[in-house]
Amino acid sequence: MDENIEPLDRGPFFHGTKAALNIGDSLKPNYQSNFQNKKSNYIYFTAALEAAKWGAELAASDNQERIYIVEPAGEFENDPNLTDQRFPGNPTRSYRSSEPVKIIAELGVWERHSDEQIKQMLESLEELTKQDKNIIYD
């Protein structure tokens, strides 16, 4: 990043997923999305633990939910899927980058949402899908 430009956020940054990764690995664009059956042009991450929890819990897999602490390798932008569509002003502190993010640690303990909350969120997403509104601008 250009040191004369104020960063969007100083972090720490989190990435919620069900993928088993190692410290030092890099998450790169153009791999399978956690949420849709397609390759993603970006890596998505957040500075809000709450958003990372949802990322881990809603990821399409039966694997263990994980939250990694990540460090962007380059520039990043506000996630337009949330900031423009659902939460103007980016209160979820959600971002995306077309450059890799490096895993620097795994968050070992965190309190997940209740099964009922997760079920309600999945039902809401299913309803948005039926209405053709569950779109990720990637």
**pLDDT digit string (tens) for the chain, length 138 residues:** 444 445 578 889 999 999 999 999 999 987 665 655 657 789 999 999 998 999 899 887 888 999 999 999 999 998 887 665 665 667 788 899 999 999 999 998 999 999 999 999 888 878 876 777 656 666
- Name, in order, each residue with C-beta under 8 angstroms of 123's C-beta and a sequence gap of 6 or more: none
**What does the pLDDT look like over 105-117, one tens digit per residue?**
999 899 999 999 9
Could you state, in order of their start, the residue ranges of all structural domains in the chain?
13-130
Res 91: pLDDT: 77
Res 102: pLDDT: 97
Res 67: pLDDT: 97
CA 55 remoteness from chain centre: 5
Amino acid of residue 63: N
Q: Could you please state the CATH topology (level 3) that the domain comprising 13-130 is classified under.
A: ADP-ribosylation fold (3.20.170)
